[in-house]
Amino acid sequence: DAKTTQPNSMESNEEEPVHLPCNHSTISGTDYIHWYRQLPSQGPEYVIHGLTSNVNNRMASLAIAEDRKSSTLILHRATLRDAAVYYCILRDNDYGGSQGNLIFGKGTKLSVKP
């Protein structure tokens, strides 16, 4: 799986938008961009994923650069409960097995101030 680069930490104010960047300059054509987050003392949870087009769901939006070498996870209104480590992960989405493995980096630790 291609490598991703994320800032170690970011801060945000409550109820403001947050843009979490991820660089993946060696992404291949079949790599999907997945985002997971890990709340304190919990296991990671799925946030969103995409291939080429921007994606929205109830948790967040994913903006993917036209050349796919970078992406941004957008939390539209950060809450205190969004304080977590956010992981940007690339993987081939064809099937499970070893391909189902998620290769986690260190992620971005998001702090939200009231």
Partner 1 sequence: DAGITQSPRYKITETGRQVTLMCHQTWSHSYMFWYRQDLGHGLRLIYYSAAADITDKGEVPDGYVVSRSKTENFPLTLESATRSQTSVYFCATLILGPRNEQFFGPGTRLTVL
Of 17 and 105, which CB lies nearer to partner 1 in the complex structure?
A: 105
Interface pick for partner 1 out of 2, 10, 14, 44 (rule CB under 8 A): 44
Beta strands in 1-114 (DSSP E): 9-13, 18-23, 31-38, 45-50, 55-56, 61-64, 70-75, 84-92, 108-113
* Binding status of residue 86 toward partner 1 by CB under 8 A: no
Token match 């050349």: residue? 67
Give, as ranges, the residues between 88 and 107 that touch partner 1 (CB under 8 A). Answer: 91, 93, 95-98, 100-107
Verify binding: residue 53, partner 1, rule CB under 8 A.
no
| Residue number, 70 or 107, with CB nearest to partner 1 | 107
